[in-house]
Amino acid sequence: MTLRPRFWETVPLSKMTQQEWEALCDGCGKCCLNKLEYEDTGEVAYTRIACRLFDGDTCQCMDYPNRKMHVPECVVLTPKTLPKIAYWMPSTCAYKLLFQKKKLPDWHPLVTGDPDSTHTRGQSIKGLTLSELDVPEDDWEDYLIEEHP
């Protein structure tokens, strides 16, 4: 994979190559968590309940290329969809940060050069999730976590 040097600092999101766009993902897995959005307040709460395709040991989707086929409600993040969904994305998400004209965190793999830095710096949900197939949706509120968008 050939990426332009420090592309995230110079290339607008809409002008990135597909490889650059995908490289922005830090692998935290937080976008794959089921969230509760309270209609009365608009507040978004994160749960430990992950998408059925999420592998909690690797923090990766088990069928990323075909995820929409298996999980129709899965959100495909693009420069066009980002403005509409950034509000519920994790505060540390590179896509959200760059959209907000902020810098990547110092632990981000693009900054460190280490693909595991998100995990080693405690910024991922690796090993902390339960599958949505194992927990009834009515019980998700029992599994709220401190993460905030």
DSSP string across 12-44:
-GGG--HHHHHHT-----GGGEEEEE-TTT--E
User: What pTM did the predictor assign?
Assistant: 0.92
CA angle 51, 18, 16 (to 5 degrees): 120
The residues near 138 (Cβ < 8 Å, ≥ 6 apart) are none
Predicted confidence (pLDDT) per residue in 42-100, tens digit:
899 999 999 999 999 999 999 999 999 999 999 999 999 999 999 999 999 999 999 99
Is 16 within 8 Å of 7 (Cβ atoms)? yes
Confidence band of 146 (pLDDT split at 50, 70, 90): confident
Q: Is 109 helix (H, G, I), strand (E, B) or coil?
A: helix
